[in-house]
């Protein structure tokens, strides 16, 4: 609460003489007491820890159990294959996450390496790590602030705090101010300076009141250091699916033993059969396939300028229904721009105009004075100095008025610097054979020192009606959230002292400037709304400014849809959560408020994306379901805390990323339903054969081959299916929605039943071809191998063909284009080729318990295998009609 105390009280509490500062001994003692001025962090995760973290998944646990059981029954090849799947899945996740979570290290890099302090009565430069509470810190232009400081002296001091507060314009500082309200926002505490902010103008001195983790930056670091890992909607669905499949496998094994006891069959043989059935019930390739599909999605998204740091975040994007965006630099351009200028009686709107404009004589004089009365520079696309002055130089360049040429032609002789009391700055420049005073500043202060006005290229008396008109135009601009700056001049034939400059001036006019919205953002916000996504603006800037930008972009319609941080503090958490849907703009908020806003939206069941670029955005980026950082203007801290980074800093990319996320989820769902249909077919085929006391049509090795090789290729191809062009015309998916919603469960059952029955039919045909029936007593090994080969190939081929039908729930394969997913066609061809290889090459045929088929057998196999595809396509046609 140092901002609420006078400088005298602060000095007394720290027991220090500002003229002398701390002694070397006292500084050493305090360094031992308070520790180094650096931020703490959790230890960095090793590759081993990251690898083990990938294994914390119910599906992986089920696979590990399957690997152990197959090892115990000496099916070593099967064990190795399953373990390779587990390792592949983990490796994909580790590669993607290896560079993640660098937020605290980035914060440490941000803190300034050297600081100017007064010790033993001498100003010395020290390592900022050695700054301690009570140190007298000396600030000047271009220097970073090394700690949180209560200012005790300031002269025209301005500090750029956008990374911490979100404000585009440097804050004016005044050591003499005292703020009694304990809820005063950081951006309004004019008597304080904060760690890692930058002094842009003037000078000052202050006492270090907080160092290291006690600073405002430190508080953000502690929030980021809190582990808030949450499962994404996809992870929750897969975890739920893993549990179901795990219990299903256990239930099947128990049921088989019960049946074996009833039928008085060999228990060890039934144990092997139950293992086969458990293998059939579990889609062993699912975890790896989901990881591969997500990784491919990440690669695609990098091509649209979105870098995803964690694989599951890709899918979460598809569920987003609220985008909370920082204003400065995200929705706006983060550069002050003059959009209006007024010289009586003309108001010119130049917000949409191109460069190379022509100015009236009055406008030329106005811009000339504003540029000559500025210290900023702008060359080769880079500006230095106050953003407001850079905006004035850019204004001149649009009218072909070069700052460099003006300053060379009208050389500055002397100046009266800006100060926060006068709110004015004046310069004296050479002008023809004499001199001219150029003054800029607050229009109300300009009018007080003017006696004439420049109207229609003439100097006329400044009447009350003219003053009223200037003030009315100023009020109009202020109501539009523009920052207004006035200018005046006076000619003289002698060099004036600074005290005589600001008297009897001629008012030229005024300009209004704002940090304008990004040009492409408005269309993106409209597209987001059509897709059922609600855009929200969160900013540290003033309420009127924020609402003006929000109205222009279509985020808000009125001031009533906005709320400030102070108003949030006046509400209880419950009341705030109940009313949060009424607000579209949150202004003057602190980092803590941003987290509170994100949490309140999430508490209502929303999937929240938070975008931002500053240090102040980092905690809310971490707490959001999807934190999105800006790649160009974003701080390393924001990038470290985020899930996704936009390499082009374009809000539009978020909307494209959400579209990609929706398509990726849809594709993963296709892969999951496809795999479950296949596995259900396998379970039905084996379970019915056992129930009816028939020979088992498939062995564990054959099932593992189908699950890991034959099924996996089309499942991956479905995962890269071209996106649905209408996906952004739909509402966001309910994150609690099951994989089996919207008829997907029914499709899985129909497909599974058909595949299972046709596999059994092929097995029966194989026995019948060799002269056996299901009622035959013992079946010869040759006949059983032939029948199992028929069943094995029909199972694999029917699943391969069935994958074509999984591409769309309602459109037939001809409607969406048979060849529109060439990867799928290729995967089917490779799958059929692999089946041919397995049953043809002798040593592989022996390993899998199969043998070669003749041409007639292949025709029958293909005919059987096409049935599930044809039935499903007919169902689509009839259901649509």
Q: Is the pLDDT of residue 844 over 70?
A: yes
Lowest mean pLDDT, pick from 44-58, 140-154, 489-503, 773-787: 44-58
Tokens 């046709």 locate to 758
What pLDDT does 730 receive?
84
Decide: pTM greater than 0.75: no
Q: Is the pLDDT of residue 41 over 70?
A: no
Overall average pLDDT of the 537-561 stretch: 88
What pLDDT does 60 receive?
75
Helix axes 286-302, 651-691, angle to 10 degrees: 160
* Run of H or E including 691: helix 651-691
Per-residue CA distances from 149 to 35, 310, 510, 544, 573 (Å): 17, 38, 36, 29, 31
What pLDDT does 216 receive?
86
What pLDDT does 383 receive?
80
Task: Please report the beta strands in 16-113, taking only residues with DSSP state E, as ranges in sequence order.
Answer: none
Per-residue confidence at 112, pLDDT binned at 50, 70, 90? very low
Q: Is the pLDDT of residue 610 over 60?
A: yes
Of 452, 447, 485, which is closest to residue 467 (Cα–Cα)? 447
Lowest mean pLDDT, pick from 179-183, 339-343, 575-579: 179-183
Query: CB-side exposure of 499: number of CA atoms within 13 Å?
Result: 0
Our answer to whether residue 726 is catalytic in this structure is no
Choosing from 57, 148, 326, 721, which is the catalytic residue? 326
Query: CB-side exposure of 391: number of CA atoms within 13 Å?
Result: 26
Contacts of 863 (CB under 8 A, 6+ apart): none
* Full DSSP string of 673-688: HHHHHHHHHHHHHHHH
pLDDT in tens, 717-737: 998 888 788 888 888 887 777
Q: Is the pLDDT of residue 519 over 90?
A: no
What pLDDT does 108 receive?
44
b/e per residue 845-859 (b: at least 16 CB within 10 A): beebbbeebeeebee
Q: Is the pLDDT of residue 562 over 80?
A: yes
Per cent of the chain over pLDDT 90 is 31
Helix axes 58-72, 76-97, angle to 10 degrees: 150
What pLDDT does 381 receive?
78
Per-residue CA distances from 796 to 236, 664, 675, 678, 829 (Å): 30, 26, 12, 9, 12
pLDDT in tens, 732-756: 887 777 777 777 888 888 999 999 9
Q: Is the pLDDT of residue 702 over 60?
A: yes
Q: Is the pLDDT of residue 111 over 60?
A: no
Q: Is the pLDDT of residue 672 over 60?
A: yes
What pLDDT does 110 receive?
47
What pLDDT does 375 receive?
87
What pLDDT does 226 receive?
60
Helix axes 76-97, 286-302, angle to 10 degrees: 30
Give the chain's length.
Answer: 881
What pLDDT does 284 receive?
65
Overall average pLDDT of the 321-341 stretch: 85
**615/604: higher pLDDT:** 604
What pLDDT does 783 receive?
87
Overall average pLDDT of the 83-88 stretch: 78
Lowest mean pLDDT, pick from 145-159, 639-653, 855-869: 639-653
pLDDT in tens, 459-480: 999 999 999 999 999 999 988 8
What pLDDT does 862 receive?
93
What pLDDT does 281 receive?
73
Helix axes 744-769, 855-880, angle to 10 degrees: 150
Overall average pLDDT of the 53-64 stretch: 74
């Amino acid at each position: 609460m140092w901002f609420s105390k006078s400088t005298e009280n602060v000095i007394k509490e720290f027991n220090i003489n500002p003229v002398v500062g701390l002694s070397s001994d006292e500084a050493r003692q305090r360094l031992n007491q308070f520790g180094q001025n650096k931020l703490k962090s959790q230890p960095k995760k090793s590759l081993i820890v990251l690898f083990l973290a990938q294994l914390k998944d119910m599906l992986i646990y089920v696979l590990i159990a399957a690997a152990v059981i197959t090892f115990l029954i000496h099916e070593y090849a099967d064990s190795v294959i399953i373990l390779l799947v587990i390792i592949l899945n983990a490796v994909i996740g580790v590669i993607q996450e290896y560079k993640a979570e660098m937020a605290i290290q980035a914060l440490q890099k941000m803190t300034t390496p050297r600081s100017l302090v007064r010790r033993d009565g001498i100003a010395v430069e020290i390592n900022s790590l050695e700054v301690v509470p009570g140190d007298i810190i000396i600030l000047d232009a271009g220097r970073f602030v090394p700690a949180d400081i209560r200012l005790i002296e300031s002269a025209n001091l301005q500090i750029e705090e956008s990374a911490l507060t979100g404000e585009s314009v440097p804050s004016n500082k005044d050591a003499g101010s005292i703020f009694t309200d304990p809820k005063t926002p950081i951006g309004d505490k004019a008597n304080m300076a904060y760690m890692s902010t930058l002094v842009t103008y003037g000078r000052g001195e202050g006492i270090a009141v907080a160092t290291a983790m006690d600073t405002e930056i430190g508080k953000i670091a502690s929030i980021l250091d809190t582990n808030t890992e949450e499962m994404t909607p996809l992870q929750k669905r897969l975890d739920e699916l893993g549990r179901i499949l795990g219990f299903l496998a256990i239930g099947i094994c128990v049921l088989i033993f019960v049946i074996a006891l009833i039928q008085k069959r060999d228990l060890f043989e039934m144990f092997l059969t139950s293992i086969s059935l458990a293998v059939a019930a579990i889609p062993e390739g699912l975890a790896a396939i989901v990881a591969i599909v997500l990784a491919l999605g990440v690669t695609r998204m990098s091509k649209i300028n979105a870098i995803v740091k964690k694989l599951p975040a890709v899918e979460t994007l598809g569920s987003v229904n609220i985008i909370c965006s920082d204003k400065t630099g995200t929705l706006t351009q983060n550069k002050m721009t003059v959009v209006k200028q007024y010289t009586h009686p003309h108001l010119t709107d130049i917000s949409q105009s191109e460069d190379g404009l022509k100015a009236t004589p009055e406008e030329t004089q106005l811009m000339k004075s504003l540029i000559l009365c500025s210290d900023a520079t702008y060359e080769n696309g880079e500006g230095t100095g106050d953003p407001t002055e850079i905006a004035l130089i850019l204004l001149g360049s649009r009218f072909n008025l070069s700052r460099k040429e003006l300053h060379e032609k009208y050389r500055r002789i002397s100046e009266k610097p800006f100060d926060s009391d006068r709110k004015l700055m004046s310069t004296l420049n050479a002008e023809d054979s004499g001199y001219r005073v150029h003054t800029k500043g607050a229009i109300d202060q300009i009018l007080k020192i003017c006696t004439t006005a420049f109207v229609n290229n003439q100097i006329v008396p400044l009447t009350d009606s003219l003053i009223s008109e200037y003030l009315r135009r100023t009020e109009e601009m202020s109501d539009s959230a523009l920052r207004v700056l006035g200018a005046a001049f006076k000619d003289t034939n002698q060099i004036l002292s600074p005290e005589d400059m600001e008297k009897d001036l001629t008012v030229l006019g005024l300009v209004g400037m704002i940090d304008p919205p990004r040009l492409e953002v408005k269309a993106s916000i409209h597209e987001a709304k059509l897709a059922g996504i609600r855009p929200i603006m969160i900013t540290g800037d003033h309420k009127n400014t924020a609402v003006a930008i929000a109205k222009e972009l279509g985020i808000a319609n009125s001031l009533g849809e906005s709320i400030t941080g102070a108003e949030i503090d006046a509400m209880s958490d419950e009341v705030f959560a109940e009313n949060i849907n009424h607000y579209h703009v949150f202004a003057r908020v602190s980092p803590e408020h941003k987290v509170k806003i994100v949490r309140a939206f999430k508490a209502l069941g929303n999937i929240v994306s938070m975008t931002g670029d500053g240090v102040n955005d980092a905690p809310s980026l971490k707490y959001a379901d999807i934190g999105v950082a800006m790649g160009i203007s974003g701080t390393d801290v924001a990038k470290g805390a985020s899930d996704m980074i936009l390499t082009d800093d374009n809000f539009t990319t978020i909307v494209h990323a959400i579209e990609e996320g929706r398509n990726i989820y849809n594709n993963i769902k296709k892969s999951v339903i496809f795999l479950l249909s296949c596995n259900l077919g396998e379970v039905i085929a084996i379970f019915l054969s056992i129930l009816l006391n028939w020979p088992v049509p498939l062995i564990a090795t054959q099932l593992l081959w189908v699950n890991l090789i034959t099924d996996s290729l089309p499942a991956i191809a479905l995962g890269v299916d071209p996106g649905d062009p209408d996906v952004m015309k739909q509402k966001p998916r309910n994150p609690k929605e099951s994989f089996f919603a919207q008829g997907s469960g029914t499709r899985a059952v129909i497909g599974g039943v058909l595949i299972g029955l046709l596999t059994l039919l092929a097995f029966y045909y194989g026995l019948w071809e060799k002269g056996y029936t299901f009622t035959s007593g013992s079946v010869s090994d040759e006949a059983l191998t032939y029948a199992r080969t028929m069943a094995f190939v029909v199972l694999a081929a029917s699943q391969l063909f069935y994958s074509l039908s999984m591409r769309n729930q309602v459109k037939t394969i001809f409607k969406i284009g048979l060849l529109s997913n060439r990867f799928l066609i290729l995967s089917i061809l490779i799958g059929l080729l692999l089946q041919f290889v397995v049953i043809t090459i002798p040593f592989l045929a022996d390993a899998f318990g199969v043998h070669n088929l003749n041409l007639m057998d292949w025709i029958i196999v293909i005919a059987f295998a096409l049935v599930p595809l044809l039935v499903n396509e007919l169902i689509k046609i009839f259901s649509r009609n």
